Structure 1
Amino acid sequence: MSAPRSEQKQSTISRRLDRNIEALLKRREEEARQSSRQERVADAITRFAGSMKFVYLHLLVVTLWIIFNIGLLPLMPVFDPSFVILAMVASVEAIFISTFVLISQNRMTEADDKRADLNLQICLLAEHETTELLTLVSAIAEKLGIEIETTEELEELKEQVRPEEVLDEIEEKMHRRGTTKPPPA
Structure 2
Amino acid sequence: MSNDPYMARTLRENIDRLKQRADRAARDAPLGDRLAAAITRFAGSMAFVALHAVLFGGWIVWNLGWIPGLEPFDPSFVMLAMEASVEAIFLSTFVLISQNRMAAAADRRGDLDLHISLLTEHELTRLAGMIERIADRVGAGSDPEIEEIKQDVSPEQVLDALEEPGPPPSQT
> Does the pair score TM above 0.5?
yes
Work out which of the residue numbers 128, 133, 148 in structure 2 matches 1:156.
148
What are the superposed Cα offsets for residues 30-68 of structure 1, whole Å, 9 maximum, x if unpaired? 111210111111001000100001100111111111111
Unaligned runs of 5+ in 1: 1-5, 180-185
Corresponding residue for 2:111? 117
Corresponding residue for 1:3? none
| Deviation of 1:128 (Å) | 0.8
> How large is the Cα RMSD of the aligned pairs?
1.6
With normalisation by structure 2, the TM-score equals 0.92
1:176 aligns with 2:170: no
Q: How does 1:79-98 map to 2 (within 5 A)?
A: 79-98=73-92
Cα separation, 1, equivalents of 2:56 and 2:12: 49
| Deviation of 1:144 (Å) | 1.4
| Deviation of 1:113 (Å) | 0.3
| Deviation of 1:176 (Å) | 2.9
1:167 aligns with 2:159: yes
With normalisation by structure 1, the TM-score equals 0.86
State, as a whole percentage, how many aligned pairs show the same letter.
51
Corresponding residue for 1:183? none
Residue correspondences, number: 167
Residue identity opposite 1:176 in structure 2: G
Unaligned runs of 5+ in 2: none
Work out which of the residue numbers 103, 106, 111 in structure 1 matches 2:97.
103
Residue identity opposite 1:155 in structure 2: E
| Deviation of 1:13 (Å) | 0.9
